[in-house]
Amino acid sequence: MGFYISVLFPQIFFAISAILFNPSNLVKIPQGRLPVSFLSLGDSYTIGESVDETDRWSVQLAGMLRKNGVDMANPDIIARTGWTTAELQDAIKATGNQKTYSLVSLLIGVNNQYRAQDQARYRTEFRKLLQTATKLAGGNGTHVLVLSIPDWGTSPFAADRDKVKIGSEIDQFNSIAKEECQKVGIAFVDITPISRLAAGDPGQFASDGLHYSGRQMKKWAEKALPVAKELLEK
């Protein structure tokens, strides 16, 4: 009887051990998923000159995506009032950022137009920015979103300026941006017509009379929303 116990106990012990320590029997704790990351690049229209942070178009877009079931983080923003394409490129480089993002937006060019810079120069510099944005999107250009330049010629600030000339030049710069996006398969969202509808409505502009209010930028975000959703599904 004693011999039987001494043999049986090791057999029971190893049988129980096999059950307890079998990897298939372990409870797997799911890894927490990080929010979808978002980087927004640009100038005063991206930083939201003269409006609250929550009114920035990219911040509003992030909120809309969350309401549509996307676990979206608020955007990191590299933007400053007055920047041209070259200045934005220099600023991105100066950050030394090595992070990549699930979505990268770009809205740039109004200051190139305002300073009467050469359009061929804009094309070259904009093309480089598309390359930079693609790199920041992990090398995936299908996760880059470009917005057209709004027409500031319809703003109260431009009341005494040549609105037709401003509008024509904005169209020319936007045409270049759209062409460059099409060449590399990057999404281009045309918000310029929306900005022109703001003419005569003070509520669509910020207190400085030049930049846009949260109400106007909400319309940009709404225009970009279905495109952003589609990009994030790719």
Q: Please tell me the predicted confidence (pLDDT) of residue 16.
A: 36
Model confidence at 234, pLDDT cuts 50, 70, 90, reads confident
Tokens of 148: 């057209």
Q: What is the pLDDT of residues 41-83, one digit of tens each?
A: 999 999 999 999 999 999 999 999 999 999 999 999 999 999 9
List pLDDT tens digits, range 175-223.
Answer: 999 999 999 999 999 999 999 999 999 999 999 999 999 999 999 999 9
Is residue 8 very low, low, confident or very high in pLDDT (cuts 50, 70, 90)? Answer: very low
Q: Summarize pLDDT for 95-130 with one digit per residue, the tens.
A: 998 899 999 999 999 999 999 999 999 999 999 999
Q: Which of 232, 123, 118, 136 is nearest to 182 (CA)?
A: 123
What are the tens digits of pLDDT across the range 133-182?
A: 999 999 999 999 999 999 999 999 999 999 999 999 999 999 999 999 99
Contacts of 194 (CB under 8 A, 6+ apart): 150, 216, 219, 220, 223
Cα distance between residue 227 and residue 65, in whole Å: 11
What distance in Å separates the CA atoms of residue 53 and residue 60, rounded to the nearest whole number?
A: 9
- Per-residue pLDDT, 34: 77
Q: Is the pLDDT of residue 31 over 60?
A: no
Query: In this structure, what token pair is assigned to residue 18?
Result: 């096999």
* CATH assignment of 35-232, among 1.10.8.100, 1.10.3080.10, 3.40.50.1110, 3.30.1130.10: 3.40.50.1110
pTM, rounded to two decimals: 0.86
Side-chain-side CA neighbours of residue 175 (13 Å):
8
Report the Cα–Cα distance between both ends of the chain, in Å, rounded: 69
Q: What is the 3-state secondary structure (H, E, C) of the chain?
A: CHHHHHHHHHHHHHHHHHHHCCHHHCCCCCCCCCCECEEEEECHHHHCCCCCHHHCHHHHHHHHHHHCCCCECCCEEEECCCCCHHHHHHHHHHHCCCCCCCEEEEECCHHHHHCCCCHHHHHHHHHHHHHHHHHHCCCCHHHEEEECCCCHHHCHHHCCCCHHHHHHHHHHHHHHHHHHHHHHCCEEECCHHHHHCCCCCHHHECCCCCCECHHHHHHHHHHHHHHHHHHHCC
